[in-house]
Chains A and B, each alone.
Chain A
Amino acid sequence: MARYVVQLRQDVERWVSSGLIDRSTAEKLVLDAERRDRKSFGPGAVLAMMAALLFGAGILIFIAANWEAFPRLARVAALFALIFGGYVGGAFARLRGHVAIGEALWIVAAAAFGASLALIGQMYHMSGDESAAILTWCAATALAALVLRSGPLTVAATGIADVWLAAALTGGLIASFRVDSPALFLPVAAVLFGISCWTRSQATRHLILLSLIAYATWHAVDGDTFEIAFMMAGVSACLFAVAHIMPAEVDNLVRINRRLPIHALIGFLVAMMLIQIDVEGDGGFPVAAAVTLAGIVAALVLQGRESRGLRWIAYLAFAIELCLIYAITMGTMMGTAGFFVFAAVLVGFLALLIIRLERRLGSDAPQAEGGKA
Chain B
Amino acid sequence: MSKGRKLVLSALLLALVQTGFLGWMIVGRAAVLRDGREVLLKVEPVDPRDLLRGDYVILNYEISRIPLTIISDIGEVGDRLDTAGKITVRLGRDEDGYWRARSAWIRNPPAGATGTDEIEIAGQIPPLNLAYIGEDVRVTYGIERFYLPEGEGRAIERDMRVRAFGVRVAVPASGNAQVKALMDGDQVLFQEPLY
A66 touches B140 (CB 8 A): no
Chain B residues with CB under 8 Å of A68's CB are: 149
CB distance from A110 to the nearest CB of B (A): 9
Chain A residues with CB under 8 Å of B25's CB are: 120
Does any Cβ of A come within 8 Å of B130's Cβ?
A: no
Within 8 A of A (CB), among B54-73: 54-56, 58
Does any Cβ of A come within 8 Å of B193's Cβ?
A: yes
Does any Cβ of B come within 8 Å of A123's Cβ?
A: yes
In the bound complex, CA of A176 to CA of B126 (Å): 8
A176 touches B148 (CB 8 A): no
CB within 8 A of B7: which of A65, A95, A120?
A95
Number of interface residues of A (CB under 8 A): 42
Within 8 A of B (CB), among A125-148: 125-129, 140, 143-144, 147-148
A66 touches B26 (CB 8 A): no
Does any Cβ of B come within 8 Å of A163's Cβ?
A: no
Q: Flag the segment in B11-19, B41-49, B101-109 that touches A.
A: B11-19
Chain B residues with CB under 8 Å of A67's CB are: 149-150
Does any Cβ of A come within 8 Å of B88's Cβ?
A: no
CB distance from B145 to the nearest CB of A (A): 4
CB within 8 A of B179: which of A88, A92, A113, A124?
A124
CB within 8 A of A140: which of B18, B33, B126, B192?
B18
Q: A80-B22, A113-B22 in contact; A66/B150 too (CB < 8 A)? A: yes
In the bound complex, CA of A165 to CA of B129 (Å): 22
Query: B128: nearest residue on chain A (CB-CB)?
Result: A171
In the bound complex, CA of A117 to CA of B18 (Å): 11
Q: Footprint of A on B, CB under 8 Å?
A: 4, 7-8, 10-15, 17-19, 21-22, 25-26, 29, 32-33, 53-56, 58, 84, 124, 126-127, 140, 142-150, 178-179, 192-193, 195
Q: Footprint of B on A, CB under 8 Å?
A: 64-68, 72-73, 76, 80, 83-84, 86-88, 90-92, 94-95, 109, 113, 116-117, 120-129, 140, 143-144, 147-148, 175-176, 178, 180
